[in-house]
Homo-oligomer: A and B are copies of this chain.
Amino acid sequence: MKDGFEVTPYKVSGDIDYDELVDRFGTKKIDGALIERFARHGPVHAMLRRGVFYSHRDLDWILDEHEKGNGFTLYTGRGPSGPIHIGHTMPWMFAKYLQDTFKAKMWFQLTDDEKFMFYDHLTLEDTKKWGYENALDIIALGFDPKLTNIFLDTEYIKTMYPTAVRAAKKINFSTIRAVFGFDNSNNIGSIFFTSIQTVPCFLESMLQDRNVPCLIPCGIDQDPHFRVTRDIAEGLGFYKPALVHAKLMPSLAGSEKMSTSTNLNDTIFMTDDEDTARKKVMNAFTGGRVSVEEQRRMGGEPDICSIYQYNLYHFEPDDSKLAQLRSDCKSGSIMCGECKGQLFEKIWTFLRKHQDEREKAKDRIEDFFIRD
């Protein structure tokens, strides 16, 4: 770990300074002018207004291309290693907003090969099974089946492999070491994998046999993959993919990234039942004080509170209501228990609807999947 925190697709640790990360990665912050451009195309998503999606590469060019009528395609993905939690859905809901606003085709990659090669305890059967399970959650979020292709790497490899091999020829191990922090003990599948993660940027161009711009909404931890892709894209005859980067959704324990690899009690899964979800929310880390008396007097600290972050990131899209909540917290006029209860209601409304849609998705898998 250098400078107090580390962010790669394979390791997130320390307290992330998101502004410094922009400098470290060489991306650009999303500024008011760029948000203003989004406003011309429809309502601006809360995650964009509030700086959850806060960094980008060539997002302005994507809007240029859209405005010129050239269109663009979207690409995002999921490493299917277990169940989906709320943190996962955040960039996907933003992706759906982009799809809806710009009528953009979405390529949704399920990297069953990657998760198998990176996790000792998972078989390829496990990751494939999780791929199909996770697809139900993706479909449940409301993507347009006419504009969405979901695929598992192992089921779409014949289409992808020639381009992956062309990409691989242009990337040496020195680059991989530097970008991902790998060493000689990494398995050769993990070393090769970024080639496979490169291809979906170009799938629409390959399909249409013309160059189609591609925008990748993702957590900023995934940027290193596409930095490599951007370095080689033009040499392969394609546009560099553009990116829009989200901060990482905090866990209910207040740590920097919600994750299935940390404590399961701090993570709300999309299939949690009401009692389970309630318990997790009610046990969350907050910015409250040691006693009710002290909190009434000093007020809470929303900026370190996981409950407030959940509202900010996802569950309170109304800016004035969020501002009211912040003010009530800081003034000591709302206690943590009440605030948690309110958040739980919003979360459970979201989960209940999701779980209904997830059941229906079981009959709609084939409307979304693409295979060799």
Seen from chain A, the residues whose Cβ lies within 8 Å of a Cβ on chain B are: 113, 116-117, 124, 154-155, 157-158, 161-162, 165-166, 168-174, 176-177, 182-192, 194-195, 372
Within the assembled complex, what's the spacing in Å between the Cα atoms of A141 and B310? 69
Interface of A (DSSP majority class): helix
Number of copies: 2
Within the assembled complex, what's the spacing in Å between the Cα atoms of A169 and B194? 15
- Distance to closest chain B CB from A209 (angstroms): 15
Residues of B with C-beta under 8 A to A192: 168, 188-189, 191-192
Residues of B with C-beta under 8 A to A184: 172-174, 177
- Distance to closest chain B CB from A331 (angstroms): 55
Within the assembled complex, what's the spacing in Å between the Cα atoms of A154 and B166? 12
- Distance to closest chain B CB from A176 (angstroms): 6
- Distance to closest chain B CB from A200 (angstroms): 16
Instruction: State which of B161, B165, B189 has its C-beta within 8 Å of the C-beta of A169.
Output: B189
Residues of B with C-beta under 8 A to A168: 117, 187-190, 192
Within the assembled complex, what's the spacing in Å between the Cα atoms of A223 and B117? 26
- Distance to closest chain B CB from A114 (angstroms): 9
**Residue contact B165 to A191, C-beta cutoff 8 Å:** no
Can you give 17 contacting A-B residue pairs, CB < 8 Å? Answer: A124-B165, A154-B162, A157-B158, A158-B158, A161-B161, A168-B187, A168-B192, A172-B184, A172-B185, A172-B187, A173-B173, A173-B188, A174-B184, A188-B192, A188-B195, A189-B192, A191-B192
